[in-house]
Copies of this chain bind each other. A is one copy, B any other.
């Protein structure tokens, strides 16, 4: 706490790294590209998991677990899939003191091992749909890594569903995209665009990839979740068929969808400021921290007594509250530490506060500070936390609105991208070639073709060829 954080405006990437490490979310591991998720960061991930898991179950899904090791030959069964993932695989060649007859890869994603299993589970239309999710670790050997955003090993959930019809699979793909959108906006307070990926950006093996795209504090985009319509690609690769109610043998239709510990990075960059993290109350490990202020044993007893009484009332009101009773640290140090860690509400309780039956309530996101009657704190806290949640979301929405631009010419595109950044709504001729050229020239990629109905004729910013709608460009993580 002694040293100040790097300012976002000085070096955003360094600010990010500092806030993640000094905010006790994660640290680098002695394993290339891997991280240790520290207890505070893991508690945040657990809160995300709990809400997502509930939303998955409410939409009819169940959890299961499939092996982490996948026979190397499985990957090869789906041509695009193996091409996409081969460069990133970690390979087990020896085990139990011997060279293996067939190598295993550590799952980079589980479509292949799961569809090999579904072949056994699916015979008839009565076995469908299968609505399974898995919470797991995966490994993708990445060259450039960054805590939470891109790590060699990461934690995620991967849904894998099997359906009797193309329509059902498409419905499911969109249902889960909507679950992700709700989670991101309602819990993370991060507004997201929903859209379709271009062929160039879609998942290796998917027919169509949908995504949620968020805007970070440095005006770069982050893909926060994807939902894939896999068509019959994996069913064909693994020969998974079912007997329909009309007694016909058909290939099964599939989806897969996932979000990962990357979401923690999204949360950091969507709301954080120069003082550190700003956590939305619905996901914050501690929603409120109480700091007793005292200079004598007598004062300590009085302020700690008041804190303990409040703590009991707040817990009964469902508030995740913590008393910072560390004796060897000054209050000012504690304030800075909990600000860095993004705790939404700080309660300061000094001897005079106890006497006048009030506390000082400090809001992390607005940095406002005001007295609050002790007697009504527990009753008011849930409402105040919900207001903060809403306020953080509104701020992020306003930021995105300010940083979304419609651009119509190449010069305008270049100028806006370089001077302002953000989401650029522009016309594109629909070809992979143009997309690749634009990326080469500018490092901007098409984040998505938005799902809204904003259809409008225009001309491609690069080639001038006709375009039926705008797509969203941005530089991205």
Contact = CB atoms under 8 A, between A and B. Distances in A.
Interface residues of A, number: 54
A36 B96 contact: no
B62 A37 contact: no
Nearest to A126: B328
Interface string A295-330: 000000000000000000000000000000000100
Interface in A33-49: 34-39, 42-43, 45-46
A155 to B, nearest CB: 7
A169 B104 CA distance: 39
B36 A155 contact: no
A67 B34 contact: yes
B93 A94 contact: yes
B30 A69 contact: no
Contact of A153 (B43, B67, B152): B67
A64 B87 contact: no
A153 B106 CA distance: 12
Given A29-B117, A46-B63, A68-B139, A95 B104 contact: no
A381 to B, nearest CB: 22
Contact of A36 (B42, B64, B89, B93): B64
Q: Oligomeric state, in number of copies?
A: 2
A74 B96 CA distance: 18
Interface string A74-100: 100000000000111111111111000
Contacts of A94: 90-91, 93
A103 to B, nearest CB: 8
B88 A91 contact: no
Contacts of A62: 39, 42-43
Interface of A: 27, 29-31, 34-39, 42-43, 45-46, 62-71, 74, 86-97, 104, 106, 113, 116-117, 120, 126, 132, 136-137, 139, 141, 143, 152-153, 155, 328
What are the 6 closest A-B residue pairs judged by CB atoms, nearest first?
A: A96-B141, A39-B62, A34-B67, A37-B65, A90-B95, A91-B94
29 contacts: A27-B117, A27-B120, A29-B113, A30-B71, A30-B74, A30-B116, A31-B67, A31-B70, A34-B67, A35-B67, A36-B66, A37-B65, A39-B63, A39-B64, A39-B132, A46-B63, A68-B139, A87-B96, A88-B96, A89-B95, A89-B97, A90-B92, A90-B94, A90-B95, A91-B92, A92-B92, A92-B106, A95-B141, A136-B137
Given A90-B95, A95-B141, 10 more contacts: A27-B120, A31-B67, A35-B67, A36-B67, A37-B66, A42-B65, A69-B139, A87-B97, A91-B94, A136-B137
